[in-house]
Amino acid sequence: MFALGILEVEEDLNWRKLARCRDGQGTLTELFFSEQLDDIAQAKQFCAECPVRTPCLNGALARREPWGVWGGQLVWKGRVLAQKRRRGRPPLPRDPVTGEVIRDPVRVAELRAQAQREADLEVELIAKSA
> For the chain, first and last CA: distance in Å?
26
24 secondary structure, DSSP code: S
Q: What 3-state DSSP class applies to 48?
A: helix
Rounded to two decimals, the pTM is 0.57
Gap between the Cα atoms of 114 and 28, Å rounded: 32
| Max Cα distance, the chain (Å) | 59
- Residue pLDDT, tens place only, 80-101: 876 665 566 667 778 778 888 8
pLDDT given for residue 78 in this prediction: 80
